[in-house]
Amino acid sequence: MIQALYLVGWNVYGFMYFPWIGEQFCLVFVSGWLFLFLAVYGVISCAESITFAIRTAISARKNRTLPTVVKTNGLQQSPKHDGAQKNGKVATTTASDSSATQMEPEVNVEASQSQDHIRTLKVTWFLYEAIAAPSLVVSGIYFIILYPYIREYNANYKPTALDINMHGINAVLVLIELWWVPFQLRLLHVVYPIILCGVYALFSYVYWLSDPEGNVLYPDVLDWNHPEHSGAAVAVVACVIVPTVHTVLYCFKLIRSCMKNRT
């Protein structure tokens, strides 16, 4: 819950106080996408955890209060009448008397709730695997390449708190989730972040078409005025860097699982 509130709070703060970066809206940049998706993942995970805890508590309470019925020679006897049984009186109902109850269709509410829980887990699983590797890649590019580049032209530049959260804290939260949350990171699911990279590249191209001169999001990197350079950058990131980082995360999760099994 703390993580979800933290991410939502910083997203709201960014939209309110820094909606524009230069002449571009903040959500046209890939870091804005990833930070927003991470907040959505946190909110869904938090909501599902609370819902699951409530369902579990209600189910446990029902199991404690629900009377059991003992069948003996075609008769049904409720343990609530144990006192009457000790006094020689047994409260029984015949099978014909309970035929109406037996004919009622049974609805397995717990099974339905379990299916809803599994579907929600699949959504959060997909979101996490789609944004984990790209978040680390964006953080690495920002601090290794972009930040020194900006400092060359502006020695007084210092990253804001929002910059640190969008390009640093997000990567830390991704690694914390990978360490603590008990789900499996599948190697073949590398297709999810690759698809996300392709969707963002397509978006940047459509966005560029509306203003080829003004809507260049990443000069010299993702500038569709030079399609050969942009295509090569997208291919390297989507087909080399992101799969490599995803594989590293997979090995990290595998080591974590082996450590947990030994304890």
Question: DSSP of 60-124, one letter per residue?
Answer: HHHHHHSPP-EEETTEEE-GGGHHHHHTT---EEETTTTHHHHHSPP--HHHHHHHHHHHHHHHH
**pLDDT value for 102:** 45
For residues 32 and 261, the model is more confident at 32
Total count of domains within the chain: 1
E strand or H helix that includes residue 142: none
In a domain, 104, yes or no: no
The tens digit of pLDDT for each residue in 44-58 reads: 988 888 888 888 888
Q: Is 101 part of a structural domain of the chain?
A: no
How many Å apart are CA 56 and CA 180, to the nearest integer?
A: 21
pLDDT at 98: 44
Structural domain boundaries enclosing 208: 2-96+111-262
Residue 106 domain-assigned (yes or no): no
Nearest to 128 by CA among 31, 32, 193: 193
Domain-located, residue 169: yes
Specify the DSSP class assigned to residue 143.
I
* 160: region left, alpha or beta (phi > 0 left; psi from -120 to 50 alpha): beta
Q: Which of 244, 245, 209 is nearest to 230 (CA)?
A: 209
pLDDT of residue 85: 46
Tell me if 221 is assigned to some domain: yes
CA distance 221 to 227: 10
Q: Tell me the residue length of the chain.
A: 263
Q: Give the DSSP H or E segment for 25.
A: strand 24-25
For residue 102, is it within any domain? no
The letter for the amino acid at 246 is H
Cβ atoms within 10 A of the Cβ of 79, count?
A: 10
Over residues 202-241, the pLDDT tens digits come to 999 999 999 998 899 988 889 999 999 999 999 999 999 9
Would 105 be classed as within a structural domain?
A: no
194 pLDDT more than 90:
yes
Query: Does the model's pTM come out above 0.75?
Result: yes
103 domain residue, yes or no:
no
pLDDT at residue 257 greater than cutoff 90: no
The token pair that represents 87 in the structure block: 């006094």
In contact, 44 and 124? CB cutoff 8 Å = yes
Cβ(35)–Cβ(166) under 8 Å? yes
